[in-house]
Amino acid sequence: MKKILTCVFLILVILGFLILVISFKMFTVSGGSMEPTLKDGEKILTNKLAYLFSKPQRGDLVLVNAEEKTWVKRIVGLPGEQIEIKDGSIKINDKVLYESYIKEIHTYGDQRVFLDKGQFYVLGDNREPNQSTDSRILGPVSSKNILGKVIALISPNFKLLGKQNYQLGY
C-alpha cells in the first residue's frame, strides 16, 4: 500500500511540474515601451493557457509574437471594433478611451483601423513618439500571435498584475 501511495504521489508531482512548465513562461522586458507599468529588465510571468477557456479582454497585458520577436503590449481594441487615433486620443467605435495606466495622455499617431474577427489592436503604455513598436506600426495582431497573458511581475519585486482602469467615454 505504501508503494502505491508513493507512486501516486510521484505521478502527481510530475504532472504538476509538467502543467507548470506548459502553462507558464518567464519573460524579461526589453525597452521602455511599457513604462510606467513595466520597466526595462523586469521579469514577468505569463500564463500561456489563459485564453484557452476565455477571450482576451481590453486592458490585458499580453505577450505578442510579431516580426519574429516577442513583445509585451496591452490590448486596446477587440475584434469587430473600429479604432481611431487622432489628435492625441484613441476612439473605439467613436467613443474616447480614457486610460489611467499610460505614461502620456497624448497618444501619437493618426490612423483608423477596422478589426476583423480574431484581430486585436495592441499598444505599449509609453505612447511618446518612437517609444513603442505596436499596432500603430505592426497593424492588428491575430489571436494566433498572442502567446499568453501577463499575470505577474516577478522581479525586482513580486506583484500580481490585475486588470487596469480604463473607461470608454461618450
Q: Kindly name the residue from 2, 69, 73, 86 that is annotated as catalytic.
A: 73
Active site residue 30: no
Active site residue 132: no
CA nearest to 130, candidates 104, 101, 165: 104
| Residue 128 · residue 103 · CB < 8 Å | yes
Q: Kindly name the residue from 2, 23, 33, 155 that is annotated as catalytic.
A: 33
| Residue 23 · residue 46 · CB < 8 Å | no
- Give me the phi and psi of 37, to 5 degrees please: -65, -50
Query: How far apart (Å, rounded) are the C-alpha atoms in residues 151 and 54?
Result: 15
Angle at the Cα of 41 (from 36 to 42), degrees rounded to 5? 65
- Give me the phi and psi of 157, to 5 degrees please: -130, 135
Q: Which residues pair with 74 in a beta bridge?
A: 61, 123
C-alpha cell at 7: 507512486
> Which are the catalytic amino acids?
33, 73
